[in-house]
Structure 1
């Protein structure tokens, strides 16, 4: 893997685990309201950067570009909704590893089988190690663990979907990563607006903002930043390598869940992280 892509992916992993911690802390808030607030705030915060991009690059959007961006928006919306619901049912150190583990394994499988990508033997070994390590981390026997596991698996399907879709968007369709990311935030905010502002949830918006304002702003910044870095990495390396390498974030998330949220069993899951680290090293050397 290109060393520049690996650096981008590792920085993105830290940012990604951090915003998931913030989302978990807001798990008891209405999930649609929280997701809408994060998307809306993100659209506002990053608007100067997007405006500057439009002035400098002067991109032209075709109907096919808009269709690709719309598909990405739909996949990400389902992902965020399932993830936030999952955090209301299970631990960060269960939902996050399972979701992140299912996603890259399926994305890599699709990339190899249908997109013609051919990772080296070390790359294949790394993919396998990352997947095994992530699922070892998700161990647990409580009812909450089983619910978290189910939501994690469902979320992982959409992670695989948007990973492959977005890699093609910035690769084959040459949609600028910044445009895909920003318009995705705007799209989620617009799609959710009727449900949030037109019904009973409207009264929850101000209360949710007051209680979780710092988390909303933090998630708005880190969500956008983490995925922008990954999209840029997609232009430097194949999806079958980028997708698994970013899963170093599960190690960070398990530590955050154990140390900051006092989740049980995190030390056992931390031991399993050594398997993931081995996978990341293998991928980086492939």
Structure 2
């Protein structure tokens, strides 16, 4: 992986960690927060996307349009699967399974569908990142997977991870094979999500507005940083960075969230989480060398 692509992915991880902290603080706003942050993002990134369309043109064929619609639907399905998993099972089961299986399945898909070679360094790096994710997310308490109801968390975590892998493969193929602009792809997908979420909010606009009281700064943070961070990832893939390297590397945000949570939210970070951070860093170094 070249230096520019590496920096793009690392900056994307910083963006991902930052907006996730903002989203965590507004998690109780639920689907209303998701709608407003998505709509604000659609508005904020419209000038950039339209400038690209006017300057570079857009191929009005079914393949790029299908990719945009599929991306929007898959990202929305991922959000709903994650939220449903959190409601029906323990976060300590759903989250590590989803974040661990997402890059793992993405990389396997890249090996099988995109012909990316799984060299030994890449495989070791991938295992290091996935192992680091599990340590950071569980703090080494793997007994949580054996608790009653853990199977529901496993199922929802696997479904969420599968959706992460699917949208990563769809979006990666769109920018690599269809040469679709990352900005246009992500903006179009955001517009699709906004349209699909609108009926839920329009049914009771007063309640939707009231639910956002005190959450507008968080909504703008998510609206600006979530798309920008993902655009950076897509740019790295379009530059030739292998999807099987980019997908696990962007999970560096897990480590950053753990460290920021310790500093800003004063959350405890035990030895297992610190070991997970070290394992993840080692995995990323191996991936960068592959």
Question: TM-score, normalization: structure 1?
Answer: 0.89
**Alignment partners' CA distance in 1, 2:47 and 2:86:** 32
Alpha-carbon distance in structure 1 between the residues aligned to 2:36 and 2:90? 22
Please tell me the root mean square deviation across aligned C-alpha atoms, in Å.
2.4
Q: Which residue in 2 is equivalent to 1:35?
A: 34
Structure 1 residue runs of 4 or more that deviate by more than 6 Å after TM superposition: 142-145, 147-150
Determine if contact 2:132/2:275 at 8 Å carries over to the other structure.
Answer: no
Equivalent residue number for residue 185 of structure 1: 190
Contact 2:19 2:225 survives alignment (8 Å): yes
Are the structure 2 counterparts of residues 4 and 167 from structure 1 closer, same or farther at C-alpha, using a change threshold of 3 Å? same
* Other-structure match for 1:228: 231
Instruction: Tell me the CA shift for residue 125 of structure 1.
Output: 0.9
Aligned to 1:66: 65
SS in 1 for 2:220: helix
Say which is worse superposed, 136-145 or 18-27, in terms of deviation: 136-145
5+ long unaligned stretches in structure 1: none
Local SS of the residue matching 2:215:
helix
CA-CA distance at 1:156 after TM superposition: 1.7
Match of 1:216 among 211, 215, 219: 219
Distance 2:42 2:69 in 1: 16
* TM-score normalised to structure 2 length: 0.88
Residues 237-286 of structure 1: per-residue CA shift (max 9 Å, x gap):
11111111111111001122333334445553132111111100000011
| Residue 272 of structure 2 corresponds to residue 268 of structure 1 | yes
Cα gap change, 1:151/1:219 in structure 2, threshold over 3 Å: closer, same or farther? farther
Residues 275-286 of structure 1 mapped to structure 2, 5 A cutoff: 275-286=279-290
| 1:98–1:138 Cα contact (<8 Å) kept | no
User: Structure 1's 72 and 66: CA in aligned 2 closer, same or farther, altered over 3 A?
Assistant: same
Q: What is the distance in 2 between the residues matched to 1:218 and 1:83?
A: 20
Aligned residues: 282
| Map of 1:196 onto structure 2 | 201
Q: How does 1:42-61 map to 2 (within 5 A)?
A: 42-61=41-60
In the TM superposition, what whole-angstrom CA distance separates every residue of 1:211-240 from its partner, at most 9, and x where no partner exists? 200000000000110000001111121111
Gaps of 5+ in 2: none
Q: 2:142 aligned with 1:137, yes or no?
A: no
Measure how far apart 1:150 and its partner are: 6.2
Q: Which moved more, 1:7-16 or 1:74-83?
A: 74-83
Of the candidates 163, 166, 169, which is equivalent to residue 164 of structure 1? 169
Structure 1 stretch 151-160 or stretch 141-150: which is displaced more? 141-150
Please list the CA deviations of residues 72-116 of structure 1 after superposition, one character each: whole Å capped at 9, or x if unmatched.
Answer: 11110112223445567766x876554322211010011112321
Alpha-carbon separation, structure 1, partners of 2:164 and 2:38? 18
Q: Select 1:242's aligned residue among 228, 241, 246.
A: 246
Tell me how far apart the structure 1 counterparts of residues 116 and 41 of structure 2 sit (CA, whole Å).
33
Determine whether 1:207 maps to 2:206. no
